[in-house]
Amino acid sequence: MGGTGERTRVGIVLAVVGLVLVLGACKPLREYPAAQAMFFGTAARANLLSDPTYTTTLAREFNGLTPANELKWDTIHPAQNTYNFGPADALVSFARAHDMKVRGVPLLWHEQNPGWLDNGGFDGTAMRNIMAAHIATVVGHYRGRIVQWDVVNEPFASDGTLRNTVFRKIGLRYMDDAFAMAHAADPAAKLFLNERGIEVPGPKADGVFDAISKMKERGVPINGVGFQMHADTVVPTAQQLAAQIARYASIGVEVAITEMDVKLAIPANATALAAQARAYYDGLAACRAAPNCHTFVTWGFTDKYSWIPQFFPGMGDAMMLDESYTNKPAYDALNRQLGQG
């Protein structure tokens, strides 16, 4: 009675349950209902679409992608009357073939612009015409195929004031015009203002919030704000992030996590990798917990192709998979987070 045989049976049942839990916890990220309920994506590069390990992983883990560089003016609008849609088209076709959605990034930025735009000496009127043509042509080309646009990227300085860019020549309200133009070109697309460093409290976070509140009051068709979340191990606490997201809910504005990565000093040790995993977990958890966050995008997924080592010497190891596409603690943390009901 209740002897060895029964204990063995109980042991076998527990082992099977354990195995199912472990295997269940390892499914690709995009297969979780929680991921399916959101835009769960990553930045992708057209010149890597010929790498089968890259493409297989991209399509297996994510239900959305954002072209990393292919929509920036130096690629897509290399001369005033020339558009080069090829690289972005390749990514948009890939997305369609793998049932993924696309975020377009960005329509206006002060970096990766061609010389003809930066050095053309255009006055405000000419610049407004150039901006109008660019937005109508690019958003029009992808109408119905790009579901979210970052209309403007990084328009604010670190003190929260409007950054001086070529587009500011149009006037201090150039963003109002840009959002209206994008909305006219694709009324169904959701339109965002994307910014870095506003996940944490401070003058920049407040300046951006204030500016977006006023845009909403003026009736500008802005749907959301992007928090880039390029982090290192000093990341916003879960509470700080939740507070920044919540105040946008109060003015009817969505928040998207648009470019998350967590750079580490290399070589990274186990403690740093654990802190990184926690940061990814918290970022996703804060988004999922908020009623106004439905988009979580990482800026790449394998350390093999991350932008960090080139831009931040001595740093790297920022992604959820290592250079051989092996899961890091960050991947397991995202997997666990998506598994939470």
For residue 30, the minimal CB distance to ligand XIL (Å) is 22
Contact indicator for 196, 167 with CB cutoff of 8 Å: no
User: Known catalytic residue: 259?
Assistant: yes
From 61, 154, 199, 254, active-site residue:
154
Contact indicator for 289, 242 with CB cutoff of 8 Å: yes
The values of phi and psi at residue 133, to 5°, are -65, -45
Helix axes 52-61, 86-97, angle to 10 degrees: 60
What is the DSSP annotation of 211-277? HHHHHHHTT----EEEE--EE-SS---HHHHHHHHHHHHTTT-EEEEEEEEE-EESS--HHHHHHHH
User: Known catalytic residue: 199?
Assistant: no
Q: Which two tokens stand for residue 25?
A: 């916890």
Q: Which two tokens stand for residue 324?
A: 């051989």
Which amino acid is residue 274, in one-letter code? Answer: A
From 70, 199, 254, 259, active-site residue:
259
Contact indicator for 58, 301 with CB cutoff of 8 Å: yes
Beta-bridge partner residues of 211? none
Q: Which spans of this chain sit near ligand XIL (rule: CB under 6 A)?
A: 68-69, 153, 228, 259, 307
Residue 37: strand, helix, or coil: coil
Q: Whose Cβ is closer to ligand XIL: residue 4's or residue 310's?
A: 310
Which of 87, 100, 67, 80 is closest to 258 using CA atoms?
67
How far is it, in rounded angstroms, from Cα 208 to Cα 152?
A: 12
Residues involved in catalysis: 154, 259
